[in-house]
Amino acid sequence: MTKLIIIGDFMKILHMIALTVAVATLTGCAATKSVLAKRDNGSLDYRTAKTLDPIKLPVNQPAAEFIPLYQTPKANGALPNFVNESGKQYQLPRPPSVR
């Protein structure tokens, strides 16, 4: 009987340790940033994207007029270098200092 109590206590401690590790890992603490920033999350895939042909509707298909809400800037060919230290993820530039 005491052996079952000891095993039960051990399992409770093991669950608490697993829960603590999971919470610390998933909260985005600074220790996980270095590990997670090295993986390729696909945020730089736009650099190698190909231009697709426009969608072609049938001749007699009515279509609504397209009115853009915002102006789209023209790309000059040079892409900004907003990558992280590992070169695998998009990283926003730091905002200017207010001091």
- Where does the pLDDT of residue 16 fall: very low under 50, low under 70, confident under 90, or very high at 90 and above? very high
- Cβ within 8 Å of residue 44, ≥6 positions away: 83, 88, 89, 90
Question: pLDDT-derived band of residue 98, with 50, 70 and 90 as boundaries?
Answer: confident
Token match 């990558």: residue? 83
Give strand pairing partners of 77. Answer: none
* Each residue's pLDDT tens digit, 39-97: 777 877 877 888 889 888 888 988 888 888 988 777 777 777 778 777 777 777 778 88
